Amino acid sequence: MRVANLNGRATIVTDGGLVDVERASHGQFTHEVDSLISRIDDLAAWLATTSPRVTEEVSPEELLRSPGLGPVLTAPSQIFAIGVNYRAHAVEMGLTPPASPMVFTKFPSSIAGANAHIPIPSSSTDWEAELVVVVGKRGRDIAADDALSSIAGYCVGQDFSDRELQLRGTPAQFSLGKSHKNFAPVGPWITTRDEIDDPNDLQITCDINGHRYQDSTTGDMLFSVAELVSYLSTICELRPGDLIFTGSPHGVGQGQHPPVFLNAGDVIETSIAKLGSIRNVADQG
């Protein structure tokens, strides 16, 4: 099942069209995507047994171009992000792979939709394609073997980074440099966990102006999705709607020789197999 935020309303995306959740269910489910996330399994069961009629005949491909396609969640209570979580990315950055997950945060005010324009605050604004986990169940101390069952689904994300701000001090600080306006676009929809057999077996790519810079698989992660969920839950209570940016593969702008950063007008297309694509345009900050 794919659930999008279209014009502020939870919408199921099918190959045959769109289903407005609240209207099709006659109020059994809310139109608010943030409130709906804790009931994602109930919604999937309802969809399977009810087979509701589409409320709008729009294809998934057409939906991707819609200006009304908003962020999959609008106000997550927590946004976790993982640094240096791909083997090849550690190599390109000349970093020693961490012994445990390197965790920072992106602040919720940086959340944006799949087609959001990205203000460029500095001449060293970088891209980082990422698989984003959407937490579906509240929990602490979740065992790795049980971690995937606590996930509502997955989506495509970008961890845009102001390298100048990120690396300004010693030691470097990450969170502010990764939390400018629209620096966390997520979308195009939530693909529920039952659609993904193995989140660590997905191709992930990022193209800038049609040139492919990032092309890898989530199998290159140092710490798997299940391991990340379990690790975070040993410290923080995970809550429905929390987001986990699981790290970026190699091919970021800072890792190029010489480095390449974003300019106004650049088009950033980020795709993950089975999850879809988001398309962002850089604007002058």
Domains of the chain: 2-63 (no CATH), 79-284 (3.90.850.10)
Residue type (1 letter), 79: I
Q: Which pLDDT value is given to residue 250?
A: 97
Q: Which residues of 12-24 are buried (b: 16+ CB within 10 A; e: fewer)?
A: bbbeebbbbbbeb
- Band the pLDDT of 266: cuts 50, 70, 90: very high
- CA dihedral in degrees (98, 99, 100, 106; nearest 10)? -10
| Average per-residue pLDDT for the chain | 96
Rg of the Cα atoms in the chain = 18
> Which among 275, 220, 269 has a CA at the least distance from the CA of 248?
220
Residue 285 pLDDT more than 80?
no
Q: Look-up: residue for tokens 């966390």?
A: 184
Convert 61-121 into a string of H (helix), E (strand) and C (coil): HHHCCCCCECCCCCCCCCEEEEECCEHHHHHHCCCCCCCCCEEEECCHHHEECCCCEEEEC
In the sheet that 211-217 helps form, which strands lie side by side, from edge to edge?
A: 117-120, 276-284, 267-272, 203-208, 211-217
Question: Residue 276 in contact with residue 188, Cβ under 8 Å?
Answer: yes
* 8-24: average pLDDT: 96
- Band the pLDDT of 169: cuts 50, 70, 90: confident
Q: Which pLDDT value is given to residue 12?
A: 98
Write the pLDDT tens digit of every residue in 104-123. 999 999 999 999 999 999 99
Q: Which pLDDT value is given to residue 284?
A: 86
pTM of the entire predicted model: 0.97
Write the pLDDT tens digit of every residue in 62-93. 999 999 999 999 999 999 999 999 999 999 98
E strand or H helix at 253:
none
Write the pLDDT tens digit of every residue in 188-240. 999 999 999 999 999 999 999 999 999 999 999 999 999 999 999 999 999 99
Token digits for 32?
A: 């608010």
Measured distance CA(199)–CA(39) in Å, rounded? 21
The SS3 call for residue 12 is: strand
Residue type (1 letter), 231: Y
Convert 113-158 into a string of H (helix), E (strand) and C (coil): CCCCEEEECCCCEECCEEEEEEECCCECCCCHHHHHHHEEEEEEEE
* 27-37: average pLDDT: 97
- Band the pLDDT of 171: cuts 50, 70, 90: confident
